[in-house]
Structures are given as structure tokens and as C-alpha cells.
Amino acid sequence: MKKIVFLLTVLIFSQCKKYVAGPQGDPGEPGKKGNAKQSNRNYDMIPSFWTFNGSFYTANINVPEITDNVITNGEVTVFMKVNDQWWKLPYAVGDIYMQLSIEKGFVKLKYSKIHDGPPEAPGMLSFRIITMAVVK
């Protein structure tokens, strides 16, 4: 039995091969300055910022960095802080959802529950909004 284990061990380790790096090529040209502008803002939403319409809650965040250029050529990413971790929207736990839509100058939030009536009113929530725009 010991001979079989020994032979298997030798066979397994003899199949291992080391990676040997090849010769290095010539260095390339340094990259040019990019053409994107990024902004990063944090917003704390207190409960009174939310409006209840009978079915769900809504809130608007004024974000002047969201311009026509950002909407057509850039990107807006929104994160919500949950238990000291940032989660990208849309965010869902069970049947409760935090969704967003974007307009020029605004991020519109919708807090809803898809079963058994509306959710409880949102408490204090923190959001991080990152905009990326192509600079022409």
C-alpha cells in the first residue's frame, strides 16, 4: 500500500511544470491623458426628504453634474450604504426594492414593496453618486 501511495505521489509531482517567463519586449509608449471627468458625491437622505404616494416612497436628489453630456456620452452610478457596505442600485432584499431613474440634474429614487402593501418609511439612508462624462 505504501508503494502505491509513493508511486502516486511521485507521478503527481512529476507532472507539475514551472512557468518560465520569456524574454521581455520593448517598452510601449506611455498612455495619453484620458478624456473622462469623474465626480463623486455622498448624500444623506433624512426621512423627511421622502414623499409617500399611497403605494411607494419617492425622493429626488439634485445632482448638477448630471448634464446632457453625461446622459448621452457618460454614465451615472448610484450606490446605497447598507450595514457599512456600498451596494449598487437597483437594490433589492426580499420584496423591498430601491430603484432609480436619471434626468438632467436629478437622480430620482423609488422605494417600494411588491407584496403585502407599501414598505415602512425609509429611515436615514446614505447614497453615493458617481458621474462620468466625456470631455470634448
Give per-residue pLDDT as tens, 106-129: 999 999 998 888 889 898 999 999
Residue type, 63: V
Residue keyed to cell 420584496: 95
Q: Are 42 and 124 in contact (CB under 8 A)?
A: no
CA distance 99 to 88: 10
Q: Is 46 helix (H, G, I), strand (E, B) or coil?
A: coil
Indicate the burial class of 109 (C-beta count within 10 angstroms; 0-12, 13-18, 19 or more).
buried
Task: For 57-109, write each residue's pLDDT tens digit.
Answer: 999 999 999 999 999 989 999 999 999 999 999 999 989 999 999 999 999 99
